Amino acid sequence: MTPKEEWLQYSGWISGEEAWLRDRIASLFDIESPNEAQQQLLHMASLRLTLLDLPSAAYPNQERELRALAEAEFGLPPEEDCATS
């Protein structure tokens, strides 16, 4: 399974705005030379998958930090994109 496939399957972001951000983050796995912000997003996405096996207190703000990075990179989704997810 590729890192992109793992992210799509195990991120836990399955609907609405989360799904929109999940798909945008997944697209970064296809970039040959991601910039620094994109590399940070990829790192945080991989870290999220690792943390899923640990108690939530291991890094309680990780998901919030990942969402903030993703929103800074991609903005917020149009309302109609969230409604159909």
* pTM, rounded to two decimals: 0.84
Whole-number pLDDT of residue 47? 92
Positive/negative CA dihedral, 24, 26, 27, 29: positive
Whole-number pLDDT of residue 80? 62
Whole-number pLDDT of residue 53? 84
Chain centroid offset of residue 31 CA: 15
pLDDT digit string (tens) for the chain, length 85 residues: 999 999 999 999 999 889 999 999 999 999 999 999 999 999 999 999 988 888 878 888 999 999 999 999 999 887 765 555 4
Whole-number pLDDT of residue 65? 94
Q: How many residues does the chain have?
A: 85
